[in-house]
Structures are given as C-alpha cells and as structure tokens.
Chains A and B, each alone.
Chain A
Amino acid sequence: MPAAPTREFLDADVLARLMNLPLVARGPMEGSVSGRHQSPHRGSSVEFAEYRKYVAGDDTRHLDWRVYARSDRFYMKEFEADTNLRCYLVVDTSASMGFSAEHGSKFAYARRLAATLGYLVMHQGDAVGLSLCADKMMKDIPPRRNPAHLKNVFDALAEAVPAGKTGLVAELHRLAEKIRRRALVLIFSDLFTEPAELLDCFRHLRFRKHDLAVFHLLDRQEVSFPFERPTRFVDMESTTGIVVEPGIIAPRYHETLAQYLETVRGGCREFGVDYRLVTTDQSVEKVIGDFLLARL
C-alpha cells in the first residue's frame, strides 16, 4: 500500500491568516453557478447595471414600472450577474524548477503557493484545476467546486517531481484553446524559456479573456550569482556543462538577466498580466497576502 502523500506544503497558520482575504478576479468571469465574481452576463443580483428599452420577448418582471408611470414608456431594469470563479493552477515541473539553494527548491516554493491559493479559492466556493507541465504533460486536473476535488489537486502536487525540459509554452497555448469560459490562470514558473514565445502564450490567454497572473520564481543565487571560484555549471534540463570564471562573467550575467527580466516584465505590462517576481527566500504568506490584497 503506497504511503499517503504528505501535505507539508500547506501551512495551517498561513491558511488561517489568509482565509478572510478573497481571491478576486480582475475581470468578469464565466461560471456555472452563482458566486461572488462579476459575470459578463446580466443577472439578478442587487447591483444595478443599466436601463434599456423593452423589446418583445423580454421578461416583463424586469420592467421598471415607475419609469413607465412617469414616462409612459417601457424600460427594462438590468442588474449585474455574479458567478463563480474557475481557477487554473499551472505549475512548471521542469527540471530547472528543482534548483535548490538555501531556501529549498523553486518547485517546492511553487507547490506551497499553488496549494495555498488552491485551498483559498476552493474555500470561497470557486472551482480549482491544476496543470503540471514539463516537456510532456504530467498532470491535468480540470477545475471542480467540490471540496473533495481539492484532495486530487493536493495529491498531484505532492507526487510531482521536477524533471525534463519545460513544457510551459505548449501547455499555456493548449490551455488557452481548451478553456472556453473566462477563467483565472495562475502560473508558477521560473519562466526559463524564450521570452518571445512566452509572451506569445500570455497574449493568447489574454486574447481569450482569461485573467492571468504569473508568479515568476527565482532563487536568490540565480539573481545575485554569488560564485567566486571557478565553477562547472551543469544544466539541470540536459547534460550540458560549462566551466566558467564567475569573476569574469558575473557582470555580463547580471546584464543578461536584467534584460530578460525587463523583457518579461514589459510584455506582461503590455498584455495586462499580473506579473510577480518572487525569490524563494521570501515569505509565502506575504507573497500571497500581497497578491490577494492587490486584487481587491
């Protein structure tokens, strides 16, 4: 009998403190049931939307009789519709996410972020789905509102192991085509791929009216490049290695990294993507708290 998957990536205290903060979509969502998120369709909530002229076939229950009494004309009174949220957690499980320094691997950090946010989403009655992507899709769990569904998501996260090359670009394109209704897509990745291809994915998702948030995860070592002695760096996604003198290439490394980050950040700004650069030495609670608060 296999051992039960652990839930060490969930911190009860963090969940308790974040429980009262809702995850709000930045645009109208299309859900299957009524919820707390704005819908693109007119509904029956208490939130007034607009007046429009009556046309044959309209439900006479929504006629504003007071306006008719004053103007002798038929106007329909419309209200905002509220619906539920469909949240897709896209976690990069390529080998590069397994890079680990002092504060654990990027994948472990991504797993904690995804699990916590998934729990919060499910707790506020929205649907949560999960995509684990490497060069070959490892797991694809469609969103469900059923709290029991959360177990599937957590199990998948617990069992995932970072390996292989990144399949983020292909997976995001696939999701953009697959998800027919507006949804919230949360991406947890180090984004080590071609920026142009990556931004193309983001544009694709945004074109399909999805709300998109990116948690760009980097290890502190990847940012500061603190090496001094000659070091042989081995690619985690292949067997390629290179011996370098860090003292010589460090300035150029920093320049290249800065250019890359600026490209990604600029692209996200252009396409309206909620971009968050996160290093793994930061507090998960604070990262999620800031994320949720910013969306209120």
Chain B
Amino acid sequence: MLWMLPLAALPVVIHLLNRMRYRSVSWAAMEFLFAATRQSTRQARLRHWLILLCRTLAVLAIILALARPLVGGWLGWAFSGAPDTVILLLDRSASMEQQIGQSPTTKRERAVKQLVAAAEQLHGASRLVLLDSGTRQPQEISSPAVLPDVSLTAATDAAADIPGMLETATEYVTANRCGRTEFWLASDFQASNWRPDSPQWKALAERMRALPQEVRVRLLGLTETAGDNLGVALRNVVRQKSGSEDVLDLTLEITHNRPGKMTFPLAVVVDGHRSVMDVTLMGEQMRLQHRVRLGDKKTGGWGWVELPPDSNARDNRAYFAYNPETHLRAVVVCDEPKLARLLQIATVPAPAVMNESADVVTSAALATVKWDDVALVPVAAEVPLPPELKSFAENGGVVVSFPGGKEYESAPADAPFRVTTWRQDDGPLAKTQAGLDLPVADLRCERRKVPTEDGVTLASFADGKPFLLRQQLGKGAVYYCATLPLREWSNLAEGTVLVPMLQRLMQEGGRRLGQVQEVFCGEDVATAPGESWKRLDVEKAGPVVPPPLEAGIYQAGSRIVPVNRPSAEDEPEVLDEAKVRALFGAVPVQLFEEKADHGGQLQSEVWRLVLVAALLFLIGEGLLTMAAARLESSPPEQPKPQEGAR
C-alpha cells in the first residue's frame, strides 16, 4: 500500500490547482480588498496552512492505516507489509537470564514474548524461522504461539556467537531462496557475544548487502541495567597431597556488579556433602581459595559451589569434578645430562611424597617412549619439535620447550634481560593459592632465545619480547620458554619460578589422564561413538545430546564432565547503539533498546494508532475550518433595508 503514499500530497496539489485555476471577477470595492490583503493577519494565513497540513497528515495517516503496519514499538517502522521470511534470531546466552529491573522476567523471556507478539502481527503471511544461539540450527516454526514452549527458546548457560548466527541466517536465506527477508535479532548486546573486533563482521555485512533479496535487520536490545547480582566461576581445581591426606584446592572467582562491601553465604557441595561459609566481598571482584579435605579418599568425585539466589540464577553455580588419585609421569627430553637432571628435579622435586615421577630420555630415544601415561614433557632442543612431541601435544599432553643452547642472544654486561610483564590470573605463572606473586620479576637472564612461534604470550621481557609463550596444539599445548635453567643463561635454576611453573604444567597435562574433562557450555566436545550423556547433578535427568547447553555435571561414558558457562558470559561490557549499527555497515538496521519495563506491551497495533492520528488530524482540520468559516461567514455589517442616518 505504500505506493499510495504520494496521495498524501493530494491536498497540496488541489490547493495549488485551485490557486492556479482562479476565476476572474470584475470588482468594484477594490479599496476594501487592497486594505484587507494588506492587513490580512498572519494568524489567518497560519490557520490556513495548518488546515492544509492537517489534511495532508490525515490523508497520510489514512494511507498508512490502510497499509496495516505490521507491529508497533521497535518493529513499528514496518509499513511495507509482511516480508516473505522472518528469521527470529534469539540470543539464549547465560547473560540473557538476567532479570529485568525488579521484574522476575528475564531478558530472554521478555525477548521471546516480544518476538511472539511481533510475529503474531504477521497473521501467518510470512514464513517464520527460529535460529537460536544455542543450536544455531534454523528451525521453521508453524506458529509464533509455540515459541515460549519449544526447547529452542529455553535458557542456556552457553555463550552466543552473534556474527555466527547472522552468518547462518544469511546462508539460510541463500540456500532457501527466500524472498524479502527480515532478521529479528533479540540480544543484550554483550560485547563478548557480538565480538565487534572480529573481521567476520565486515565480510558478513557485505555478504548481507550483496544478497539478491532485500534483507533488513531489526534489533531488540535488552540493555537495561541489571539488578544486584553475584557471580561465581571456578578458575582452578587441583587435587593434591597435603601431608598424609588428599585435599582439593578450589580457586574461585566471585564478581559483583555493584561496588562496595557485601557478605553472603557461599555453599560448597562436594560429593553430596554441603557446607556453607560466609564470604565478605570488597569491591567488585575477588579471588577466593578454598581447600576441601578429601581424607583418605582415593576415588574421584564432583560438586559445585553455589551463591544465594539473585537477579541472575545462571551465574550462581560453578561445577567441578576431580580425578581419582593418579600417578603423573613426566619425560624430560634432553641430550645434556646436567640440564636434564636439573629439569628432572624441577619437575618432580619430591618423588617420594608426590606420587609423581620424571624420566629422562635423549632425543634419539624418543621413539621408544610410551606416551600413554605421560603428562608433561620438558624438552631442551632446537626447534622445530620432533613429530613425536607434536603428536603427544595434539593428544592432550603438555610440552615445555627450552632453547637448545646453540643459538642465543646475550644480554649487555651488568644489564640482564628481565621479565617485567606476566599473566598473574591464569597460567603457569599465576599467583599462588595464597595470593602471592611468583618471583618472576627476580629472574635475570644473561642469555635468551626468543621464541618466534605463533601463540599467546604469557610473560614478556622489558623490551616486549616473549619470555613464555603458549601455543595451542590440538587438545594439548606447547609452552616455549626463552631461557635455560643454567647459570650461564639465567637464575631460573634457583627454582622459585621454574618449579611451580613445571608443577602446574604437570597438573595441566595430567588432566588428560583422568576421567575428568572440563567443558564449557556449547563448546564442541569429542564424543566416542555410541557414548551417551547423562546429567548427574539432577535427579531423573534424561539423556542429553552433546554439546550440553546447560551447566552441570555430566557423565559421558566413563568420563565425568563438569560443564560450566563460558567465562566470556561474565564480562560486563555491552555495546552501545552506535557500535552495533556500525557493525552492519550499509545493511538497513532498525534498533530498539528495551530499557524500561513495558509489561510485555511493547508491540501494539500501530495501524490503530495511525487511524486515531488520522481522526485527530481530521478533527483538527474541522476545528480550524470551523473557526475560519465562522470568521468568514459573520461579516460585522449586515445592512438593513432603508437604514438611515438623519
């Protein structure tokens, strides 16, 4: 019906035609006309222009009403009729479970409600396709009424890949040869989900723009500030010996979205035993070390830590599992006996009490090593690594590569290379359980061989060159260290940094040997053929199709899999409107930020409002016309017959 829009100019055209098609009248009382024209008030002219404006707006509103605008609110611009296909993209990430204001409704529930209300306005004229962030599988739906009930709109603890969802939606449009298509995307604009720095956006926007179909994007931003919320995440779980008994050391990270001091109960559930302690949080974030005594227990187990209920129930639990008591073995690969001995001692400093061992092999004997029970391989050799070690790493092992010793860079006299920057929150150089820094800053390197491999720098020298670098390789990792624990090279042999570093890497490599496999929600997870998944922390839980979208403790075959929400979901950064718009480039985008609680009445039938507006314009036009007519039809002088003055 929008082709009728030019009709809105009809009153103006008629007015102009009237002015052009004036008739000529011979007139005697010209002096009065001239005087009246000169003195004609601005109000009279303004009134007539207002009448014209009212008529134009009334016609415009009537046309718009006839066009039956589809929906109101953030979709209220849809005056062009129902599109061929509407793809509903729903962000089901954990952050969408944040309650809106004081309402018990979560952002996801609100989004679903609004999408349903909006889709119902289509009256079945468009094909509806649901694409949720959890499965990222386009699913055609018969009616919007079923949306709140289908599992595809249920809550998840996973992250959302917004550009990936849009990519999938675009592929769907291409593959199914849809006609005019609209993407209705509801999200909380969490930056970690939108990944605005990803180069994927530019290609995506160009691809959407280049589609032969007309594609529009409508965004519902549920960006209202969250209520008071605490979140907990497990950063590390280590089972180790403490004296004669086993202990489980949990490293927790607790975040609060409000600054200030707060005391709250923290429940720790291990193997079904629940204990509660009061925790006082100062500021917005704290790292908490909690030790659980396992006594003489030799088997593995699982549990979770839990915060009291608040405005987001999804970040109140963090699940963990621990392995049975396992013997960890390291294999030191080094051709230099002295260096090999040093590395062996640093890897297992107390073999008598640690249930760990370290063997030394030369590089020539690598082929004879059985890797099945090996957790860590410290190697001092020239790169590239031998294929056996690469294969070991790809299968989940951890390799620590030290320089071969032949090539190096010497530091100037009395100015050794110093490590000034390193990651203290995670990784092998992180703070101790007591919160103390490793004395990395005390390292003095006379020689170094800077690793040039691709990877993430965990520690770097003052000149910015990496000291420790992590390269992900398959399921495992290779760590490259820039110096050797030899006196000519550095004071790394003092052990204050080297020993904890190798111990932690031994624990990391040992995870592949146990039954525990930590997984994040929505993360691709290797599954053996015929392996069934079942949730353990919930009674009467049915089978689960991996990857799991809800956090919990799962059993996959013989493995125990603690599944947690991705740490990215705890990041508070939210994109603003300008940034979101910029991501779509030239693609038409309509954005509505839902910041207030409208009680689910965001959608309204706009055409009714437009009709009311038309009525108001017509009433206004009528009032103005009547006022003008009253003035025109009541001349002040109505001469009476034979009126005389004598």
Seen from chain A, the residues whose Cβ lies within 8 Å of a Cβ on chain B are 26, 95-99, 106, 190, 192, 218-219, 222-225, 227, 229-237, 240-258, 260-262, 265-266, 268-269, 272-279, 282, 286-287, 290-291, 294
Q: Are the C-beta atoms of B24 and A231 separated by less than 8 Å?
A: yes
Question: Which residue of B has the minimal Cβ distance to A246?
Answer: B632
Question: Which residue of B has the minimal Cβ distance to A240?
Answer: B30
Return the CB mask of B26-49 against A: 1 if under 8 Å, else 0. 111111111111011100110010
Contacts of A223 in B (CB 8 A): 635, 637-639
List the 9 closest A-B pairs by CB distance, nearest first. Answer: A96-B28, A254-B635, A253-B36, A252-B36, A258-B636, A233-B27, A99-B28, A275-B645, A250-B632
Interface of B, helix, strand, loop or mixed by DSSP: mixed
Q: How far is the CB of A92 from chain B (nearest CB, A)?
A: 11
Contacts of A97 in B (CB 8 A): 28
Q: Are the C-beta atoms of B18 and A276 separated by less than 8 Å?
A: no
- Bound state CA distance, A290 and B35, in angstroms? 34
Contacts of B36 in A (CB 8 A): 244, 249-250, 252-253, 255-256
Q: Are the C-beta atoms of B39 and A252 separated by less than 8 Å?
A: yes
Contacts of A243 in B (CB 8 A): 19, 22
Q: How far is the CB of B586 from chain A (nearest CB, A)?
A: 46
Q: Are the C-beta atoms of A234 and B26 separated by less than 8 Å?
A: yes
- Bound state CA distance, A275 and B646, in angstroms? 6
Q: A96-B28, A236-B27, A286-B642 are in contact. Are A231 and B628 (CB under 8 A)?
A: no
Number of chain B interface residues as a range: 35 or more
Can you give 16 contacting A-B residue pairs, CB < 8 Å?
Answer: A192-B31, A227-B25, A232-B23, A233-B26, A244-B33, A252-B37, A252-B39, A252-B41, A255-B36, A255-B636, A261-B639, A269-B645, A274-B646, A275-B646, A277-B640, A291-B644
Contacts of B634 in A (CB 8 A): 254
Question: Which residue of A has the minimal Cβ distance to B24?
Answer: A232
- Bound state CA distance, A277 and B21, in angstroms? 35
Contacts of A98 in B (CB 8 A): 28
Contacts of B632 in A (CB 8 A): 225, 246-247, 250-251
Q: A235-B30, A248-B45 are in contact. Are A268 and B636 (CB under 8 A)?
A: no
Question: Which residue of B has the minimal Cβ distance to A262?
Answer: B637
B643 at the interface (CB under 8 A from A): yes
Contacts of A269 in B (CB 8 A): 645-646
B641 at the interface (CB under 8 A from A): yes
- Bound state CA distance, A173 and B636, in angstroms? 32
Q: A231-B22, A252-B41 are in contact. Are A290 and B30 (CB under 8 A)?
A: no
Q: Are the C-beta atoms of A245 and B637 separated by less than 8 Å?
A: no
Contacts of A236 in B (CB 8 A): 26-28, 30
B631 at the interface (CB under 8 A from A): yes
Q: A251-B631, A251-B632, A254-B637 are in contact. Are A245 and B48 (CB under 8 A)?
A: yes
- Bound state CA distance, A252 and B32, in angstroms? 9
Q: Are the C-beta atoms of B645 and A252 separated by less than 8 Å?
A: no
- Bound state CA distance, A99 and B29, in angstroms? 9
Q: A225-B635, A241-B24, A256-B39 are in contact. Are A248 and B642 (CB under 8 A)?
A: no
Q: A229-B23, A235-B27, A274-B646 are in contact. Are A249 and B37 (CB under 8 A)?
A: yes
Q: Are the C-beta atoms of B637 and A258 separated by less than 8 Å?
A: yes
Contacts of B637 in A (CB 8 A): 223, 254, 257-258, 261-262
Within 8 A of A (CB), among B156-173: none
Contacting residue for A287 out of B27, B34, B39, B642, CB 8 A: B642
Seen from chain B, the residues whose Cβ lies within 8 Å of a Cβ on chain A are 18-19, 21-37, 39-41, 44-45, 48, 628, 631-632, 634-646
- Bound state CA distance, A266 and B632, in angstroms? 25
Q: Are the C-beta atoms of A218 and B40 separated by less than 8 Å?
A: no
- Bound state CA distance, A51 and B40, in angstroms? 65
Q: How far is the CB of A168 from chain B (nearest CB, A)?
A: 13
Question: Which residue of A has the minimal Cβ distance to B39?
Answer: A252
Question: Which residue of A has the minimal Cβ distance to B634?
Answer: A254
Q: A96-B28, A248-B45 are in contact. Are A277 and B639 (CB under 8 A)?
A: yes
- Bound state CA distance, A231 and B22, in angstroms? 5
Contacts of B45 in A (CB 8 A): 248
Contacting residue for B22 out of A106, A222, A224, A230, CB 8 A: A230
Q: Are the C-beta atoms of A233 and B646 separated by less than 8 Å?
A: no
Q: Are the C-beta atoms of A99 and B26 separated by less than 8 Å?
A: yes
Contacts of A224 in B (CB 8 A): 635
Contacts of B41 in A (CB 8 A): 251-252
Contacting residue for B40 out of A99, A248, A286, CB 8 A: A248
Contacting residue for B44 out of A241, A251, A268, A274, CB 8 A: A251
Q: Are the C-beta atoms of B639 and A258 separated by less than 8 Å?
A: no
Question: Which residue of A has the minimal Cβ distance to B44?
Answer: A248
Contacting residue for B628 out of A222, A247, A272, A278, CB 8 A: A247
- Bound state CA distance, A257 and B19, in angstroms? 25
- Bound state CA distance, A251 and B634, in angstroms? 8
Q: Are the C-beta atoms of B44 and A291 separated by less than 8 Å?
A: no
Contacting residue for A290 out of B635, B639, B641, CB 8 A: B641
- Bound state CA distance, A265 and B637, in angstroms? 12
Q: A232-B24, A247-B48, A248-B48 are in contact. Are A253 and B33 (CB under 8 A)?
A: yes
Contacting residue for A278 out of B31, B32, B631, B641, CB 8 A: B641
Question: Which residue of A has the minimal Cβ distance to B31?
Answer: A192
Contacting residue for B646 out of A99, A192, A272, CB 8 A: A272
Q: How far is the CB of B598 from chain A (nearest CB, A)?
A: 45
Q: How far is the CB of A80 from chain B (nearest CB, A)?
A: 23
- Bound state CA distance, A266 and B32, in angstroms? 19
Contacts of A96 in B (CB 8 A): 28-29
Q: Are the C-beta atoms of B644 and A276 separated by less than 8 Å?
A: yes
- Bound state CA distance, A186 and B330, in angstroms? 138
Question: Which residue of A has the minimal Cβ distance to B51?
Answer: A247
Contacts of B27 in A (CB 8 A): 99, 233-236
Contacts of B631 in A (CB 8 A): 250-251
Contacts of B18 in A (CB 8 A): 229-230
Contacts of B22 in A (CB 8 A): 229-232, 243
Contacts of B24 in A (CB 8 A): 231-234, 241
- Bound state CA distance, A266 and B635, in angstroms? 19
- Bound state CA distance, A232 and B22, in angstroms? 6
Q: Are the C-beta atoms of A257 and B628 separated by less than 8 Å?
A: no
Question: Which residue of A has the minimal Cβ distance to B638?
Answer: A223
Contacts of A251 in B (CB 8 A): 41, 44, 631-632
- Bound state CA distance, A23 and B632, in angstroms? 40
Most buried by A among B32, B34, B641: B32
Contacting residue for A249 out of B23, B33, B645, CB 8 A: B33
Contacts of A242 in B (CB 8 A): 30, 33-34, 37
- Bound state CA distance, A258 and B29, in angstroms? 13
Q: Are the C-beta atoms of A257 and B37 separated by less than 8 Å?
A: no
- Bound state CA distance, A287 and B637, in angstroms? 19
Question: Which residue of A has the minimal Cβ distance to B29?
Answer: A222
Not counting A252-B36, A253-B33, a sample of 15 additional A-B residue pairs whose C-beta atoms are within 8 angstroms of each other reads: A96-B29, A192-B31, A223-B638, A230-B19, A231-B23, A234-B24, A244-B36, A244-B37, A245-B19, A250-B36, A251-B44, A257-B32, A258-B635, A282-B642, A286-B642
Contacting residue for B29 out of A192, A234, A279, CB 8 A: A192
Question: Which residue of A has the minimal Cβ distance to B34?
Answer: A242
Contacts of A260 in B (CB 8 A): 32
Q: How far is the CB of B284 from chain A (nearest CB, A)?
A: 68
Q: How far is the CB of A237 from chain B (nearest CB, A)?
A: 8
Q: Are the C-beta atoms of B638 and A287 separated by less than 8 Å?
A: no
Contacts of A106 in B (CB 8 A): 28
- Bound state CA distance, A290 and B32, in angstroms? 29
- Bound state CA distance, A51 and B334, in angstroms? 168
Contacts of A291 in B (CB 8 A): 642, 644
Question: Which residue of A has the minimal Cβ distance to B32?
Answer: A256
Contacts of B28 in A (CB 8 A): 95-99, 106, 190, 192, 219, 222, 236-237
Contacts of B40 in A (CB 8 A): 248-249, 252
Q: How far is the CB of A108 from chain B (nearest CB, A)?
A: 14
Contacts of A276 in B (CB 8 A): 642-644
Contacts of A290 in B (CB 8 A): 641-642
Q: Are the C-beta atoms of A286 and B641 separated by less than 8 Å?
A: yes
Q: Are the C-beta atoms of A233 and B30 separated by less than 8 Å?
A: yes
